[in-house]
Amino acid sequence: MTKKPTITTVAERAGVAVSTVSRFLNGRYVSPALRARLSEVIGELGYSRSWTARNLSLGRRGSIGVVVDSSEDPWFVLLLSGIEEELATRDCSLMLASLELGGRYEPARVSDWIRDRRVDGLILAKSQRRERALIHLAVEAHLPTVAVVPDEALQEVQVLHLDNIEAGATIARHLVELGHTRFAFAGGPDHSIDSKHRLRGLREGLAAQGIELPAAHVFSCPQWDVAAGTTFGRTFLDARLPVTALVLANDALALGFMRVAHERGVRVPQSLSVAGFDGLPAGAIAWPSLTTVAQPTREMGRVACRRLLDTIDDPGRIERIQFRMDLVARESTAAPPPPGRGKAAAPRRPKRVGRQA
């Protein structure tokens, strides 16, 4: 029986060190010429790597954990696609946990992953304050962790975050260029850093054009979902504030608002321009299609997976990687109506939905 070739056999045939072959197999840098040589030798020998044996020798499980509030979130579907694309090149499996599976918050399964070392690392998507205990547990266990767009400041793990301030300023410039001067903003929960930074960017962008966003025109919603946008929409439209542009802190809120606007006969964008953030696929097929500032969500998934796997191989480095968001101008924003047309009559103070400073 022919003896199965080993990594040592490959190294000897190629005339290189075993560590060089290992570096090549792990996707790390070797020169183009050496890469071609190793690929040729591996093909000639029929060498195939035993990933189970490798993981056992390194004390690893050969899988990573991905954690999100709900795997049904359209944004997360895009992120997961990017993670899977990167994993396909790495011979590593994935374990998925939804923290709100069944409609209630349940972090115990992820805690067990960490305590029992069932995964070699974690990707946390959109973590919030309530995930602090999980992050602390992972740090204490020295488990490599990457947080993707966390909605709070994190220092002890790797972070992929967005330039939300610039994104807010981008929306401001777009709407001012269209001719708008009277604005309102609806954010997410009061504690949300994303919401605060998007509001800050909007305010700064408007201020640069000599336009003020009054505190009375700034609101917050208790959740980030379509239902919260719908509830806000009813209260906001009842108030009939004299504004021509409404910016909502994410696309889900904006889509919920536009549904109510259609019900009430408020024409978007003829009477009121509406814009959101994130670039959810649903925004492209809504009517009118939603103007947004889009995240590179799929690319963030690829980068998060790459950084996590690199850290598993070479622990110790903590990075913060920032991504920009790009304006996608669609049908929901246009020039404001002429004075006297589309203006709300008898403006009055809205019922309280929650104010955001």
Q: How far is CA 318 from each of CA 47, 163, 194, 314, 347, rounded to the nearest angstrom?
A: 35, 19, 21, 11, 51
Which ranges in the chain are annotated with CATH 1.10.260.40? Answer: 7-49
Q: What tens-digit pLDDT sequence spans the chain (357 residues)?
A: 467 787 788 888 889 888 888 777 766 678 888 888 888 888 888 777 654 445 544 445 578 999 999 888 889 999 999 999 998 877 788 999 999 987 789 999 999 999 989 999 999 999 988 899 999 999 999 999 999 999 888 888 999 999 999 999 999 999 999 999 999 999 999 989 999 999 999 999 999 999 999 999 999 999 999 999 999 999 999 999 999 999 999 999 999 999 999 999 999 999 999 999 999 999 999 999 999 999 999 999 999 999 998 888 877 778 899 999 999 999 999 999 887 654 443 333 334 445 454
CATH fold of the domain at 62-162+297-324:
Rossmann fold (3.40.50)
What pLDDT is recorded for position 61?
Answer: 56
CATH for 7-49? 1.10.260.40
C-alpha triplet 104, 137, 96: angle, nearest 5°: 50
The predicted structure's pLDDT at residue 303: 95
Architecture of domain 164-295: 3-Layer(aba) Sandwich (3.40)
Predicted TM-score (pTM) above 0.85: no
Residue 101, phi then psi, degrees to nearest 5: -65, 125
Domain with CATH 3.40.50.2300 in the chain: 62-162+297-324, 164-295
